[in-house]
Amino acid sequence: MTPEDRILQLNQENAQLKQKVSELSEFIENASMPLHWVNGEGIIVWANKAELELLGYEKEEYIGAKIQDFHQDQDTIAEILQLLGDNERVNDYPAVLKCKDGSLRHVIINSSALIKNGEFVHSMCFTKDVTAAMLAEERKNKLTVLLEEKEERLRLAMAATGLGTWDWDSESNMVYLSERSKDILGIGTDAIYADNLLDIVHVDDRSSVFEPVKQLSDSSSDGHFEFTGRIVKNHRYSTAWVKVQGAAYFSDGKRSRRIIGTIMDITDQKKAIAKSAEMAAIVNSSYDAIIGKTLAGIITSWNDAAEKLFGYRSSEIIGRSILTLIPEDRQQEEDYILAQMRRGESIKHFETVRRTKSGKLIDLSLTISPIKNEGGEIIGVSKIARDITEKKQEERRKNAFISMASHELKTPLTSVLLSAQLMQKHVEKFGQIGSTVGQKIEIQVKKMMGMIQDFLSMAEVEGGKLQLHKSCFQLASLMEECKHDFDTVSTNHKIEMTCDASIEIFADRNKIGQVLTNLLGNAIKYSSSGGTVTIGCKKVGNRVRIYVRDEGIGIDKHHQNKLFQPFYRVDNLNTTTISGFGIGLYLVAEILRSHNSRIQVESVKDKGSTFYFELLEHGCPKKGIL
């Protein structure tokens, strides 16, 4: 080949090479994969169209700028440049690039370095946009979190309601159970064959569960399943009521593939319903009238006995005020009753009078209790009314008889007392023996007269006829009289009196004397071994405290609140030989209540007791003032 031919050939080959380089440059420039080069100072020296379009920059804005300016995370680009400077490849390195419009692009970077003569010339970097995939992953993660939160809320809600869940796979015939379902059914395994599960249904309830299950195989059914019945669990030792609900999911063949549902233990509800029905039967069959009402006094329930007692049918009275049944002069009792109910306090054996539909007044004994909901909130009132009209009439007849008999006994006893006093006065006529006998007769007659007075007072109290005849008198004088009466009765005891002679009170002298006589009598009776009995008074502010103290057997704490009930007596070995009817302290309490006072006791076992009460000192008109 001649030199000329060789030069021609080289020129042709050079032209072809330039053509290929031009084509390759155009291919890279227009490639869909974003590409760029960065020199050793981190300056962008070249970028193709895809790179510029990815970030939204013009070539003049991008080429010549620092690559760090386009990275969101400076640590990331610093590490990439370090790897390239060490001539290491960068493979699938995640990064976040900043676009011109302010948005961010998630990318994967693959890069290597061009090294010539041991010197770093520039990087060759491929940028893969994975923003869509990252956003999709973020959405997926958010949805996963939301799903987990919803599942947790559902789990908590089901736990709060006591629901268990189950999943019946008809292909395998296995029923998969939640922890709560296992607990309700008394089963220890997570899954059980459906046939074995149906075996624990109570034999009397199996027909009611088999038919709904059978219908689920029919595609014409709505796919819903419900069963309420009994199961036998824990090796047939216990029975529970359950409510089961489910829904069937059908395959393309219209055959149920899965049945998913819930189970709830309703044993307590069933017991509550049975108890409620039992209570309703008891209420309706009760001989006592049982009435329910709101805290505003509106009647809400009315049993058959209430209809018979008051004459109103339930349809006539429910929704009306309880004041319909209360006479006008007793309607203030309702305020007292409702105040007690709002405080959560019951009222037992409250004797009163109520009015029937016909207008007839009847004597009743009421037992009233607050009705509370599960949270302990008072939502109403239950009232049991017992007709005590016959009992009251019997009491009135009894009190009339006692009053008559007492008055009839008083006359001969007064004559006996006068005779006994004459025997003591005229020693020269009756002799010393007659005087001594007269003294003993006087003591016993006074005891009898005291008992008769107590019976009369008891009849007055029970008949609501206790009358007071108040006057102004010296308290010390009355105490001295009472002391004198008992000085002659008891020789074992030393009776002391301490009271300021100037103290005057305005009260019923005879009734307060009866109070002191009862307290002194008890002090002596319950101090059988003797000792000192003190009757006294002292000023406490504008009141006078009156007390009787003994050194006797004392009273146990649990007896002290009952002492003032009628006919109550303390029964123990120390009191078996002590006589009494148990009416003295009851009368004391009632007499003092009519004086707007109350009897109180302080006592220590085997140490003694102190009974005391207070009366107002004021109220006595001054001498010389009209």
Region 511-535: mean pLDDT is 86
**Does pLDDT of 38 surpass 90?**
yes
Residues 468-626, CATH architecture = 2-Layer Sandwich (3.30)
How far from 257 is each of 164, 174, 190, 215, 251, CA to CA, in Å? 21, 12, 20, 13, 6
Q: Could you tell me the fold of the domain covering 389-466?
A: Helix Hairpins (1.10.287)
Instruction: Judge contact between 221 and 215, C-beta under 8 A.
Output: yes
pLDDT for 573 equals 44
Residue 47: pLDDT above 80? yes
What is the average pLDDT across 281-298? 86
User: What pLDDT, on the 0 to 100 scale, is given for residue 106?
Assistant: 93
Q: Which residue has the higher pLDDT, 401 or 391?
A: 391
In the prediction, which pLDDT does 218 show?
A: 62
Residue 21: predicted pLDDT: 54
Q: What's the average model confidence in pLDDT over 404-421?
A: 70
Across 16-37, average pLDDT: 72
Please tell me whether the overall predicted TM-score, pTM, comes out greater than 0.85 for this model: no
pLDDT at 624 over 50: no
Band the pLDDT of 609: cuts 50, 70, 90. very high
Give the 3-state secondary structure of residue 253. Answer: coil
Superfamily of domain 286-387: PAS domain (3.30.450.20)
Residue 270, pLDDT score: 86
Alpha carbons 16 and 588: distance in angstroms, whole number: 138
Average pLDDT score over residue span 24-47: 83
153 vs 185 pLDDT, higher one: 185
What's the confidence (pLDDT) of residue 95? Answer: 94
pLDDT at 173 over 80: yes
Q: What is the pLDDT of residue 189?
A: 87
d(CA 519, CA 497): 14
Q: Do domains 23-129 and 389-466 have the same CATH topology?
A: no
Q: Taking a C-beta distance cutoff of 8 angstroms, is the pair 24, 7 a contact?
A: no
pLDDT grade, residue 29 (50/70/90)? confident
Give the H/E segment covering residue 383.
strand 378-387
Tell whether the model's pLDDT for residue 84 goes beyond 50. yes
The CATH homologous superfamily to which domain 163-271 belongs is PAS domain (3.30.450.20)
| Top-ranked range on mean pLDDT: pick from 218-227, 337-346, 442-451 | 337-346
DSSP 321: B
Structure tokens at 285: 């069959």
Buried b or exposed e, range 310-333, using 16+ CB within 10 angstroms: bebeeeebbeebbeebbeeeeeeb
Task: Check pLDDT > 50 for residue 626.
Answer: no
State yes or no: pLDDT of 348 exceeds 80: yes
Q: Output 32 or 362, whichever has higher pLDDT.
A: 362
Confidence at 578, pLDDT banded by 50, 70, 90: low
Average pLDDT of the chain, as a whole number: 83
Residue 577 confidence (pLDDT): 44
Q: How confident is the model over 340-348, as a mean pLDDT?
A: 91
If one counts every other C-beta atom within 10 angstroms of the C-beta of residue 76, the result is 17
Residue 116: pLDDT band with limits 50, 70, 90: confident
pLDDT at 406 (0 to 100) = 63
DSSP helix/strand/coil, 286: coil
Residue 186 has a pLDDT of 86
Residue 78 has pLDDT above 80, yes or no: yes
Which of the listed ranges 71-75, 407-411, 458-462, 585-589 does the model predict with the highest average pLDDT? 71-75
Question: Integer distance in angstroms from the first to the last C-alpha of the chain?
Answer: 170
One-letter amino acid of 88? E
205-236 pLDDT per residue, tens = 888 777 777 666 665 666 787 888 888 886 66
Taking residues 167-191, report their average pLDDT.
86
Which residues lie across from 533 on neighbouring strands? 495
Residues 6+ apart with CB under 8 A from 608: 527, 531, 549, 550, 551, 552, 554
Q: Is the pLDDT of residue 371 over 80?
A: yes
Q: Are strands 104-116 and 531-540 parallel, antiparallel or unpaired?
A: unpaired
pLDDT, average across residues 253-262: 72
- At residue 99 the predicted structure's pLDDT band, cuts being 50, 70 and 90, is very high
Give the separation between CA 523 and CA 559, rounded to whole angstroms.
16
pLDDT of residue 52: 92
Statement: residue 483 has pLDDT above 80: yes
Q: Inform me whether the pLDDT recorded for 46 exceeds 60.
A: yes
Domain ranges of the chain: 23-129, 163-271, 286-387, 389-466, 468-626
Specify whether the CB–CB gap between 350 and 368 falls below 8 A: yes
**Domain boundaries 23-129, corresponding CATH code:** 3.30.450.20
Buried b (16+ CB within 10 A) or exposed e, 425-456: eeeeebeeebbeebeebbeebbeebbbbbbbb
Confidence of residue 625 (pLDDT cuts 50, 70, 90): very low
Q: Cβ distance 72 to 98 under 8 Å?
A: yes
- H or E segment at 533? strand 531-540
